[in-house]
Structure 1
Amino acid sequence: MVVKYLPEVDGLSKFGDYSPVAIADGVVAIAGQFGLDTTDPASQVRGAFANVGKALEAAGLGFDDVIKFNTYVVGRETIPHFMETRKEVFAEIYPGGIYPPNTLLIVAGLVHEEFVVEIEAIAQKDPAAS
């Protein structure tokens, strides 16, 4: 197996020594993404999904190629903001109403104190499209 790392993706910030995207045998792993421009939880959710979209695009994919999301939220009080905003975002990116699996984890904190939502994704390139 050959793994291709994308160490830089236009429009994405990094918080350490890692690649935001890795591709191996058509499977694409996207490091956790944040909404950076605000402390508002709903805006952070929108920004995180927008950044996942940028990472997918860098790998030649879109949201229809996502197999699974993992979401990290700080504190139970963030869950309603995440759920409501995800519903709005998913209505745009998944207009058919069928959504990928999503594991939601409650954590004590993220890399910067002001971040309350982090979203990572696993996607698969369509072998027929290669």
Structure 2
Amino acid sequence: MLDRQLSHLPDPAGVFPSSGYTHVVSGRGRLAAVSGQMAFDPEGELVGAGDPEAQARQVFTNMSRCLAAAGGSFDNVIKLTYFVTDAAFIPRILAVRDEFIDTKCPPASTVVQVAALYQPDLLLEVDALALLDDE
């Protein structure tokens, strides 16, 4: 089982303690890289204009579908990278993220505030790295 192959090191010695993410996640398996997911529904329509929670829910739903297509789930995610247009959205985005991940062993994470994304109404984009079971 993959979760036995993952090692979470939330707070290595000498590193400021984390809150809501793990500093280091390692493991063995097939690496899957999920491209930045945006708040577009299956028809390509933007979901949640002006609403970071609605956009986050669509982003994580899209990511869940991508992970499933590769044979995985959020249990396999070892790293998330967030690109947000306003850092003030982060708590609301993370609250939605917590509906999808195991909050006791969260993935490693990076958050970057950007001036703009692909389209003006997009508030966030999230990509992921996952370790899947060996075939």
State the TM-score, normalized to the length of structure 1: 0.70
Q: What runs of 5+ residues in structure 1 fail to find an aligned partner?
A: 1-24
Matched, 1:76 2:87: yes
Rounded to whole Å, the distance in 1 between the matches of 2:30 and 2:97 is 26
* Correspondence for 1:47: 58
Rounded to whole Å, the distance in 2 between the matches of 1:84 and 1:126 is 28
How many residues were matched structurally? 100
Two-structure CA RMSD over aligned residues (Å): 1.7
* Correspondence for 2:123: 116
Rounded to whole Å, the distance in 2 between the matches of 1:125 and 1:86 is 20
Moved over 3 A (4+): none
State the TM-score, normalized to the length of structure 2: 0.67
* Correspondence for 1:14: none
Q: What runs of 5+ residues in structure 2 fail to find an aligned partner?
A: 1-28, 41-46
Structure having the larger proportion of residues in helix: 1
Matched, 1:38 2:51: no
> How big is each residue's C-alpha offset from its partner over 1:63-121, in whole Å with a ceiling of 9 and x where there is no partner?
1111100011002232232233333x24xx42x62211110110001001000011100
- Identity fraction in percent: 33
Rounded to whole Å, the distance in 2 between the matches of 1:104 and 1:45 is 14
